[in-house]
Amino acid sequence: MKAVHTELHRSHDPQFFLVRGVVKRTTEQPERADRLLKGLKDGKHQLVDPTKFGQGPRARIHSPEYLSFLSEAWDAWAALGDSGPEMIGNVHPVRHAATYPTHIVGKLGWHTADTAAPIGPGTWAAACAATDVAVTAAQMVMDGEDAVYALCRPPGHHAYRDMAGGFCFLNNSAIAAAHLRQKHERVVILDVDVHHGNGTQGIFYARPDVYTISIHADPIAYYPYVWGYAHERGEGPGLGANLNIPLPIGTGDDGYLKAMDVARKAIESFAPGALVIALGLDASEHDPLKGLAVTTPGFRRIGQAIAKMGLPTVFVQEGGYLSDILGANLTSVLAGFEEVR
């Protein structure tokens, strides 16, 4: 399986992470990509440079106001003269009868769901590069590759149409799915990150053409807390095209594979032309965010289960944080897929 990657991700190097009132360095560090690259090398995957697709694929998913904000945010922030080294909102309007702000501090709050998406001078460039990685992988699959892996950083599945959050700015998985829609009438996004893919769900919640499925740690006690419950099924034309499978904290391999079987049956009923895997590796028993307990052999079984779905597949990297086993888990899930396909 080929893998798409760019070193441009390094321009995004966030520092701030607020955990239960304690400021720590974020776990979404450039070193994540280094460890994932080691996993690709160990799996003997050929690396491919991304093609620059420009703003078009991003504009299919994100609002014009949001894209304008992200592209101009750092310069406006720096022009304040008394601003900090990263953009972190201190106002998060609920938008009830609200007016879109003109001041950069107001826009920052409007367009961020939480404090876990600090914006630095290189964030926009890195986020755009990540979308190019995802779209390149999708285009390769559209052109005939059976499956392609996209090493996207920063990740994307917590990003809404017009909001960043949870380390995410542009929704790479959603953008890849929208690109695949140019060829396929129906597409599925299967999110196997330990966190619910709330941004992806929000983007497609009223659409019947992209079925969003998320397997994740139960949000009753885990981020994002207010999205990801089983009763969230979509709305309007999209009713029934969203499936959440929350798992008890600490669920291991067997419980996870049972959830994968539920997802497989739903995907078969939907009969899509292509599949996007929002590949979080943070369901690992060794991940620092400690939500689920999937082992390295368990990730191989997950890869095998995905392969058995028999669909053209784009793997888009989401979470998976600094642990000694991160690269091995990537090697394992892709190897499991290749064993079957």
Residues involved in catalysis:
158
CB 36 within 8 A of CB 182: no
DSSP-derived letter for residue 191 is E
Pairing of the two strands 2-4 and 147-150: parallel
Tell me how far apart the alpha carbons of residues 215 and 192 are, in angstroms, rounded to a whole number.
Answer: 5
Tell me how far apart the alpha carbons of residues 280 and 38 are, in angstroms, rounded to a whole number.
Answer: 17
**Under 8 Å CB-to-CB from 41, ≥6 apart: which residues?**
none
Taking phi over 0 as left and psi of -120 to 50 as alpha, with beta for the rest, 100 belongs to: beta
- CA dihedral sign, ordered 196, 201, 202, 205: negative
- Give the count of alpha carbons within 13 A of 36, CB side only: 30
Q: How far is CA 27 from the centre of its chain?
A: 15
Tell me how far apart the alpha carbons of residues 200 and 20 are, in angstroms, rounded to a whole number.
Answer: 25
Tell me how far apart the alpha carbons of residues 62 and 56 are, in angstroms, rounded to a whole number.
Answer: 10
For the chain, the first-to-last Cα distance in angstroms comes to 10
Tell me how far apart the alpha carbons of residues 146 and 117 are, in angstroms, rounded to a whole number.
Answer: 33
Nearest residue to 193 via CA among 284, 306, 305, 297: 284
The SS3 assignment for 200 reads helix
Amino acid at 149: Y
